[in-house]
């Protein structure tokens, strides 16, 4: 096979946890042209980071998508998360080998190499599920290993200038409290306490955000001297990576920026629910134990997909994660 397409059309965290499968594929097929198709805003952060791998921006229209991949004459396509429009375009483009997980009805008809996975059982990490989909292409990697990213010179220059303008001359901690709602989060009041406690002991705190989360981070900042990254000028994914690189640690819930931070080798502190499909077992940060501290509420949860709300005797369980151990973990990384 000379030309292989890999597609991950969903969110940032999903894309990051697909990278071990992508790099394992490149190791198995070093002379193949491998193309990774993702959302356009994520593509910006990946360009120049993955050597020997082309980054392709997924267009909005189905016709544009089909024509784009048809023009590249792929021999094989691996779809790591199947959406009808994406998979239908691959089928219509006539790509000979079409690999993907079978769960939704259309996958039975549009893939010709089908991998049966029941990810809701959470028998392994998301990155391992992705690696499993590479087996039809001869990939037999046993361990999911993230690649290492380095900020671009442009991103470093931009962020260093921002830090200089905001009097951030040495150590700092980044807290990214927002998320897209794919998992339960730590309560806002706990983030507020953490920011107050850190700034009270002289730790420089930077708050980062994405999308429509600016109101949230302003609420968490309150009257403290924490600084909001990109408050007046929203920043790119590359710049966020550069900001993370200089931090002593990044604090975030189960969200894309948490996984983005791990690519740059930064220690992380995070919060996960015990709901089965939202758990750290499937979605936890893919770094060594010395570079992560993960907090979960001390409850027994029977929920599989989402929180049962007031029906659960432990609801809301995420507030059972106290601020003091989180503060201790952050201070440990800050002083290391």
Condensed to tens digits (0 to 9), the pLDDT of residues 91-131 reads: 999 999 999 999 889 999 999 999 999 999 999 999 999 99
Check if the beta carbon of residue 67 is closer than 8 Å to that of residue 73: no
Residues 261 and 190 in one domain: yes
Which of residues 102, 137, 172 is at a domain's end? 137
Residues 55 and 199 in one domain: no
What DSSP string describes 253-278?
Answer: ESSHHHHHHHHTT--EEEE----GGG
Residues 183 and 223 in one domain: yes
Residues 115 and 188 in one domain: no
pLDDT confidence of residue 232: 77
Please check whether residue 21 lies inside any domain of the structure.
Answer: yes
Residues 254 and 126 in one domain: no
- Phi–psi pair at 314, nearest 5 degrees: -100, 5
- Phi–psi pair at 76, nearest 5 degrees: -150, 150
Domain count, the chain: 2
Residues 111 and 178 in one domain: no
Q: Please state whether 167 falls in left (phi above 0), alpha (psi between -120 and 50) or beta.
A: left
Which of residues 137, 162, 189 is at a domain's end? 137
Please give the C-alpha separations between residue 32 and each of 26, 51, 53, 91, in angstroms, as whole numbers: 8, 12, 9, 21
Token reading at 295: 């907090």
pLDDT confidence of residue 103: 85
Check if the beta carbon of residue 156 is closer than 8 Å to that of residue 182: no
DSSP 8-state code for residue 59:
P
Please check whether residue 310 lies inside any domain of the structure.
Answer: yes
**Residue 127 is part of a domain; what is its CATH number?**
3.40.50.2000
Q: What is the pTM of this model?
A: 0.96
Pairing of strands 53-57, 33-38: parallel
Please check whether residue 304 lies inside any domain of the structure.
Answer: yes
> Whole-angstrom Cα distance, residue 235 to residue 155?
10
Q: Structural domain of residue 53, as residue ranges?
A: 3-137
Average pLDDT of the chain? 95
Token reading at 113: 């190499």
Residues 306 and 186 in one domain: yes
Which of residues 77, 112, 137 is at a domain's end? 137
Please check whether residue 144 lies inside any domain of the structure.
Answer: no
Please check whether residue 122 lies inside any domain of the structure.
Answer: yes
Residues 131 and 186 in one domain: no
Please check whether residue 145 lies inside any domain of the structure.
Answer: no
Residues 323 and 268 in one domain: yes
What DSSP string describes 139-154?
Answer: ----S--PPPP---HH
Please check whether residue 157 lies inside any domain of the structure.
Answer: yes
Alpha-carbon dihedral sign for residues 128, 148, 100, 58? positive
Residues 50 and 19 in one domain: yes
Q: Which residues of the chain have pLDDT under 70?
A: none
The stretches of 40-116 forming alpha helices (DSSP H) are: 40-46, 62-70, 84-92, 105-110
> Whole-angstrom Cα distance, residue 265 to residue 241?
10
pLDDT confidence of residue 231: 85
Residues 277 and 170 in one domain: yes
Please check whether residue 142 lies inside any domain of the structure.
Answer: no
Residues 235 and 318 in one domain: yes
């Amino acid at each position: 096979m000379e030309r292989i397409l890999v597609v991950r059309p969903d969110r940032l965290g999903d894309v990051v946890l697909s990278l071990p499968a992508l790099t394992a594929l490149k190791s198995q097929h070093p002379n193949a042209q491998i193309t990774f198709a993702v959302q356009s805003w994520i593509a910006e952060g990946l360009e120049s980071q993955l050597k020997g791998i082309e980054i392709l921006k997924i267009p909005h229209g189905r016709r544009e998508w089909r024509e784009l991949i048809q023009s590249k004459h792929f021999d094989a396509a691996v779809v790591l998360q199947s959406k009808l429009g994406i998979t239908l375009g691959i089928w219509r483009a006539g790509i000979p080998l079409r690999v993907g997980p079978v769960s939704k009805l259309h996958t039975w008809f549009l893939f010709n190499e089908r991998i049966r996975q029941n990810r809701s059982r959470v028998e392994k990490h998301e990155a391992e599920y992705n690696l499993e989909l590479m087996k039809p292409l001869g990939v037999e990697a046993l361990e999911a290993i993230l690649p290492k990213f380095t900020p671009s010179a442009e991103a470093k220059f931009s962020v260093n200038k921002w830090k200089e303008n905001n009097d951030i001359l040495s150590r700092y901690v980044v807290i990214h409290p927002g998320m897209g709602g794919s998992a339960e989060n730590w309560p806002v009041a706990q983030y507020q306490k953490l920011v107050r406690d850190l700034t009270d002991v002289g730790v420089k705190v930077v708050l980062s955000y994405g999308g429509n989360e600016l109101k949230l981070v302003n609420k968490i900042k309150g009257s403290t001297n924490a600084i909001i990254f990109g408050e007046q000028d929203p920043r790119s994914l590359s710049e966020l990576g550069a900001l993370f690189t200089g931090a002593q640690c990044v604090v975030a819930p189960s969200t894309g920026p948490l996984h983005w931070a791990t690519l740059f080798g930064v220690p992380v502190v995070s919060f996960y629910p015990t709901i089965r499909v939202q758990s750290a077992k499937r979605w936890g940060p893919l770094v060594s134990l010395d570079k992560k501290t993960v907090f979960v509420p001390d409850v027994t949860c029977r929920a599989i997909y989402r929180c049962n709300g007031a029906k659960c005797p432990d609801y809301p369980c995420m507030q059972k994660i106290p601020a003091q151990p989180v503060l201790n973990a952050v201070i440990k990384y800050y002083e290391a």
